[in-house]
């Protein structure tokens, strides 16, 4: 029994479900899929048996206890976990059921702590040390580490004796849009994903205030969930206080399949990330989604993004609303430049950055472990 578990992703997550699980169905084996989410989506089908536990009702320790009981009924032959918090399950399944274990690392826990922790630096360093010690302990029960990001800097998992398999968050070739973008999409701008201060959302909103003087009908959609209530209140207040309600709309989290509707209508997609530990090490999946959807792109000039694209997008300075506005003006007022960059990026997705080109690595891994 293949068992795939997540505790912090939506059931229809782009990577967990739409890429990996759908690919694993090619093996023709039954798959148990466990999630912890307040979404009511049921992803079950002829091979996938999906079971969700509401996050509002189940803490992570409670979720782990429920999974232990589930395993007694249906022991996993292969356990595929997607978060650090699920590592305690590796020892249980390896000892009790001799399961093969895959640890799918979406973000390195060290850079997450460095980016999001508000604790005193000394206490933060201690927490990182303890979590790293815990991770390394449980890795003795892991057969394969999978990474979503290419190793740009030193890889701690290699130092610990692993040869990580890199499976990037590329979209499917089927996602490549043939909708034109030669000025016909209007002055529409999209940001989709988590909404937090570290992602440059404040600067993006301020860029629209600057841009409105040049392009009065510019329209930005912020698509996603706010990470912090106070930040949500601050952003919505900024929009209201500056009379930007006609230019900026916030749309809360939508099902995955609906995200592409927004992508295919946007003239320009923006990745306004600030320079911090997380985004100096992580390639945003939205980069490839913008490329596939035929959006022009403005992105913060950060190494992981530079690793994949060069002059087929407009670069902005991290933390600078002015440079975002300048990039938007350049693309929205130059349809030929926009169309040329879109064509280059679609070609990159078609010929290089697509899931079909790497999905066989996942299948090969499972065939080796099963």
Residues of the chain with pLDDT under 70: 151-154
Which H or E element spans position 361?
Answer: helix 359-369
pTM flag (> 0.85): yes
* Nearest in space to 272 (alpha carbons), one of 213, 189, 183, 168: 189
Q: What domain count does the chain have?
A: 2
Residues 154 and 230 in one domain: no
Residues 269 and 243 in one domain: yes
CATH of the domain at 17: 3.40.50.2000
Residues 180 and 134 in one domain: no
Whole domain around residue 132: which residue ranges?
A: 2-170+356-369
Give the integer Cα–Cα distance in Å for 6 and 240: 37
- The 10 Å CB-count burial string (b at 16+, else e) for 299-313 is bbebebbeebbeebb
Judge contact between 11 and 39, C-beta under 8 A: yes
Residues 272 and 318 in one domain: yes
Judge contact between 285 and 15, C-beta under 8 A: yes
Judge contact between 345 and 309, C-beta under 8 A: yes
Residues 272 and 311 in one domain: yes
Residues 338 and 227 in one domain: yes
Structure letter (DSSP) for residue 84: G
Residues 336 and 196 in one domain: yes
Residues 99 and 248 in one domain: no
Task: Check residue 152 and give its pLDDT.
Answer: 55
* Three-state secondary-structure class, residue 344: helix
Residues 32 and 113 in one domain: yes
Give the integer Cα–Cα distance in Å for 65 and 78: 19
Residues 117 and 194 in one domain: no
Residues 259 and 199 in one domain: yes
Residues 147 and 200 in one domain: no
Task: Check residue 149 and give its pLDDT.
Answer: 86
């Amino acid at each position: 029994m293949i068992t795939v578990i997540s505790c912090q992703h939506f059931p229809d997550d782009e990577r967990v479900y739409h890429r990996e699980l759908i690919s694993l169905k090619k093996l023709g084996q039954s798959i148990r899929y466990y999630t912890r989410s307040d979404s009511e989506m049921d992803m079950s089908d002829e091979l996938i048996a999906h079971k969700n536990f509401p996050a509002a009702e189940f803490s992570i320790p409670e979720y782990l206890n429920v999974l232990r009981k589930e395993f007694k009924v249906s022991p996993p032959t292969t356990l595929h976990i997607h978060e650090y918090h699920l590592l305690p399950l590796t020892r249980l399944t390896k000892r009790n059921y001799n399961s093969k274990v895959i640890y799918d690392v979406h973000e390195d826990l060290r850079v997450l702590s460095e980016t999001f922790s508000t604790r005193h630096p000394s206490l933060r360093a201690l927490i990182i040390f303890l979590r790293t010690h815990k991770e390394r302990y449980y890795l003795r029960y892991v057969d394969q580490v999978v990474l979503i990001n290419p190793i740009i800097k030193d890889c701690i998992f290699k130092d610990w004796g692993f040869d990580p398999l890199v499976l990037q968050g590329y979209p499917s070739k089927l996602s490549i849009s043939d909708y034109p973008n030669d000025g016909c999409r209007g002055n529409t701008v999209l940001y989709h994903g988590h909404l937090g201060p570290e992602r440059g959302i404040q600067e993006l909103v301020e860029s629209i205030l600057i841009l409105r003087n040049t392009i009065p009908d510019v329209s930005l959609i912020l698509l996603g969930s706010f990470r912090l209530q106070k930040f949500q209140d601050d952003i919505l207040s900024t929009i209201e206080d500056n009379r930007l309600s006609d230019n900026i709309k916030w749309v809360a989290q939508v099902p995955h399949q609906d995200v592409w509707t927004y992508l295919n209508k946007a003239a320009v997609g923006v990745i306004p990330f600030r320079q911090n530990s997380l985004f100096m090490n992580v390639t945003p999946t939205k980069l490839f989604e913008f490329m596939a959807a035929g959006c022009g792109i403005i992105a913060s000039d950060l190494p992981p993004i530079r690793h994949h694209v060069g002059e087929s997008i407009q670069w902005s300075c991290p933390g600078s609303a002015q440079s975002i506005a300048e990039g938007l003006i350049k693309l929205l007022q130059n349809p030929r430049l926009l169309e040329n960059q879109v064509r280059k990026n679609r070609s990159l997705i078609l010929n290089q950055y697509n899931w079909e080109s790497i999905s066989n690595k996942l299948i090969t891994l499972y065939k080796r472990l099963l």
